[in-house]
A and B are shown apart, each in its own frame.
Chain A
Amino acid sequence: MRALGIDPVHDTQTAFRALCDATSRPGTVADVGSSPADHAILATLVDHEVRTWTDDGELRSALESQGRFDPIEPAEADLLHTHGQPDWDVRECSHGSLVEPSEGATVVYRVDGLETGPDSALTTVELIGPGVDGTRRLSADLPASELERLREAQSTYPRGVDAYLTSGEYVAAIPRSNDLEVV
């Protein structure tokens, strides 16, 4: 992952802790420690056992050069990566089974703006569920229609997909355990 400027041991450890924090507290923004955060996240999670979809050529070749890239169509993928709104439908992604819901896909969106709390320039969602004390709002530069699709993709709990939104060095999570409402 040095091709991406990411230390394969220490930067991925920092990124993983940020992912733990973000997933544990949906809607909060965590510092991944290297930029762009989506590259660090894929470097942390993807190897040949994870069927992956990405249209990011730099990321693809960095993973390929280490034999860690197992490409597949979006509907079959374990992990999907997109810049902004994807041309595939998140509702069609793997949801896992009732016996093994953890096989549901992980979706990483790179967006241009991301912050906790409401922001009139971005789309705001309200989250309720494990990890959220009461309710929490998260604003991201994604169309409301995409976040509505994500809500549908997560509506079959415990089956569903888990989403990470990244911007610059930062990541926020919308795990399937949370109820999401576009406000």
Chain B
Amino acid sequence: MTDAGADAADGTEPAAAAESGTQISATSVADAVDDLSGEGLSGYNYAYLDEHTKREVRRAILKGIAIPGHQVPFASRPMPLARGWGTGGIQASLSLLGPDDAFKVIDQGSDESVNAANVRRLAETTAEVETTTDTTEADVIQTRHRIPEEVLDEDQILVLQVPITDALRKVDSSDAANRRRHAHANYGKMWVHLYENVVEWGEIQIAARYPAMVAGRYLMDPSPIPRWDLPKLDDADNLFVFAAGREARIYAVPPHTDVEPLAFEDKSFQVERFPDQSCHSCGSTDTYLTEIETEEGTESDGGDRLYVCNDTSFCLKRQDDPGLAKDHHLDREGVDWGPGTPGGPAGADRDELAEGDGGDDA
């Protein structure tokens, strides 16, 4: 769109504009989007989905909450983006959202990815919600592959986008066989997989999608969140809704529900370790860090190894106030939320999780 003027000057009409009959005179993408929004949305129901679809999604969400960890099938609708790009999350979010809500969308911890920005804008234009990047101000948060660093409270709902709904998929590709395994809580094959992992690597080497037992009954794929985030699902104050558009399944973890990562007595579950690293931007040592490329490239290219917080909105807050606690917005003490802060009140927890007794001796 940005180049529309330039193309026209060359005497060649931009094909898209000519065919659709909508000539816009914007000079930037943002202006173009502003020009078009509103126009194309007339005739759509509140929150984009029709009410029949919402009823279907809502029934699935409620059954999901009533049977924690069980994957409830639902009729996933075509959405204005391709399946696999968060369509399940969008359907769940749009079924939940009302005009009084503040909505936040993150993609791998970032509010500013193109996909997150577009999902946020869809909700803003169709559901008339306020949008925010502040975790503590959001009523509903849709996320891809992360749980925010700041503690969620009981009034918040986290909607996780799920690419693969079944933890057993990696040990058996048959959905029918895996559904029978879930029916009888027969998870032997996953235990064998973990055992083989330990034999091969000396510790359980599962980077993301770490399988966890929910309320002692269902084995759940927590979506590709890092292991770092998995402890946050256990005994949380908020509701988690997992939605997969491509696989047409919804499942949930209610507040105060046991979520236990699979592990052995002598090979414990471990979160990611970032020894002696801190965020390059805010200095945090108690957040999930991701490696970034410097001008010299990554470490393997001979550059420096630099880490930054993956949760960008919390990183920005920490840049203003380096001592900000993850539960700074709550009026109670000792909130347990993921790995603790080293040197902080819950520091012991983190050391235990990080060092554990699995792997180091292998």
Contact = CB atoms under 8 A, between A and B. Distances in A.
Nearest to B184: A98
B257 interface: yes
A9 B55 CA distance: 11
A162 B62 CA distance: 10
B96 A132 contact: no
A157 to B, nearest CB: 7
Contact of A99 (B59, B66, B67, B180): B180
Interface of B is mostly: mixed
**9 closest cross-chain pairs (CB), A and B:** A175-B66, A98-B183, A102-B63, A130-B257, A131-B254, A133-B256, A23-B65, A24-B254, A102-B72
B45 interface: yes
Interface string B164-192: 00000000000000011011100000000
Contacts of A101: 67, 70
B93 to A, nearest CB: 12
Contacts of B96: 16-17, 20
A106 B66 CA distance: 10
Nearest to B155: A21
Given A16-B96, A99-B183, A130 B68 contact: yes
Interface residues on A, range: 35 or more
Nearest to B253: A130
A158 interface: yes
Contacts of A24: 65, 239, 254-255
A157 B183 CA distance: 11
Contact of B58 (A14, A44, A176): A44
A46 B56 CA distance: 9
B215 A130 contact: yes
A16 B255 contact: no
A14 B70 contact: no
Which of B52, B55, B98, B99 gathers most chain A CB within 10 Å? B55
A47 B55 contact: yes
A162 B64 CA distance: 11
A116 interface: no
A2 interface: no
A131 B55 contact: no
> How many B residues are at the interface, by size bracket?
35 or more
Contact of B67 (A17, A50, A97, A176): A176
Interface string A135-169: 00000000000000000000001100010000000
Nearest to A97: B183
A129 interface: yes
A94 interface: no
Nearest to B256: A133
Given A17-B98, A49-B56, A132 B183 contact: no
B255 A131 contact: yes
B158 to A, nearest CB: 12
B103 to A, nearest CB: 13
30 contacts: A9-B51, A16-B58, A17-B96, A19-B58, A20-B62, A20-B239, A23-B62, A23-B66, A23-B254, A24-B239, A24-B254, A25-B255, A45-B62, A46-B55, A99-B183, A100-B179, A101-B67, A102-B63, A102-B67, A102-B70, A129-B215, A130-B256, A131-B65, A131-B254, A131-B256, A158-B70, A162-B63, A173-B66, A175-B65, A177-B68
Contacts of A97: 183
A13 interface: yes
A99 B179 contact: yes
Contact of A162 (B66, B218, B258): B66
A45 B54 CA distance: 9
B61 interface: yes
Contacts of B157: 20
A10 B99 contact: yes
A5 B67 CA distance: 32
A12 interface: yes
A86 interface: no
Interface in A48-106: 49-50, 97-102, 106
A26 to B, nearest CB: 8
B131 interface: no
Contacts of A20: 61-62, 65, 96, 157, 239
Given A16-B54, A19-B62, A162-B63, 15 more contacts: A17-B96, A20-B61, A20-B62, A20-B96, A25-B154, A25-B254, A45-B59, A45-B62, A101-B70, A102-B72, A102-B73, A106-B62, A130-B254, A157-B217, A177-B68
Interface in B168-224: 179-180, 182-184, 215, 217-218
Most buried by A among B217, B235, B255: B255
A8 interface: yes
